[in-house]
């Protein structure tokens, strides 16, 4: 059996789970998520837990067993606590401005980048009070933070990756947008000679 798939998913008291065949609807204080799960799997709710089991031992069923359990766990955590990814903007002259739920990024391009997140995702930006990164190390080039949050784990990660792609961290000067706590391997420049 799948080690991930056989773990039951605890349901917090504030979360309500509804099953309609293999269509799962999870509601909580932060919102509602719905998902269709493969018909090769059985989903049951018993004693405040979601139990995912497979109907047969085919390769496809075994592949989807752990995946479905992880997706359902992400839904339960999302509607109860939500997900959040923090980004750091590092570079002289780089800046971020909040414009409602959208942001305007100045990242050294010939133009400003305006980004509006999809529905269900919120973006907050702030300027640093002290030049310390998320892990507490000083960085004089730190110019801003962006916080991406929402209830859908996949969507939060996708939006954060999209924002990071506007100016990925430079391996020579360490400038760009990076995840909070991300370590960049700095390369040596050309040797003078």
Total number of domains in the chain? 2
In a domain, 103, yes or no: yes
* Digit-coded pLDDT (tens) for 176-192: 999 988 888 888 888 76
Q: Is 85 helix (H, G, I), strand (E, B) or coil?
A: strand
* Digit-coded pLDDT (tens) for 101-137: 899 998 888 999 999 999 999 999 887 766 666 666 6
Burial class (CB in 10 A: 0-12, 13-18, 19+), 183: exposed
Range of the domain at 30: 9-80
Q: What is the pTM of this model?
A: 0.85
Report whether 65 contacts 2 (CB < 8 A): yes
Query: Residue 87 phi/psi, 5° resolution?
Result: -120, 150
61 and 112 fall within a common domain: no
In a domain, 162, yes or no: yes
In a domain, 191, yes or no: no
Tokens 């792609």 -> residue: 165
Continuous segment of H or E residues that includes residue 125: strand 121-126
């Amino acid at each position: 059996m799948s080690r991930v798939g056989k773990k039951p998913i605890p349901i917090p008291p504030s979360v309500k789970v509804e099953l309609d065949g293999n269509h799962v609807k999870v509601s909580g204080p932060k919102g509602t998520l719905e998902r269709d799960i493969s018909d090769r799997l059985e989903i049951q709710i018993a004693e405040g837990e979601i139990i995912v089991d497979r109907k047969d031992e085919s390769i496809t069923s075994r592949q989807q067993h752990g995946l479905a359990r992880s997706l359902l766990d992400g839904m339960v955590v999302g509607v109860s606590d939500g997900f959040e990814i923090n980004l750091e903007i590092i570079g002289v002259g780089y800046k971020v401005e909040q414009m409602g739920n959208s942001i305007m990024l100045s990242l050294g391009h010939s133009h400003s980048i305006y980004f509006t997140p999809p529905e269900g995702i919120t973006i907050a930006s702030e300027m640093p009070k002290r030049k310390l990164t998320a892990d507490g190390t000083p960085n004089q080039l730190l110019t801003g933070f962006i916080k991406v949050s929402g209830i859908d784990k996949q969507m939060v990660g996708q939006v954060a990756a999209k924002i990071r792609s506007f100016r990925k961290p430079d391996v020579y000067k360490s400038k760009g947008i990076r995840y909070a706590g991300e370590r960049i391997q700095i390369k040596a420049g050309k040797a003078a000679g």
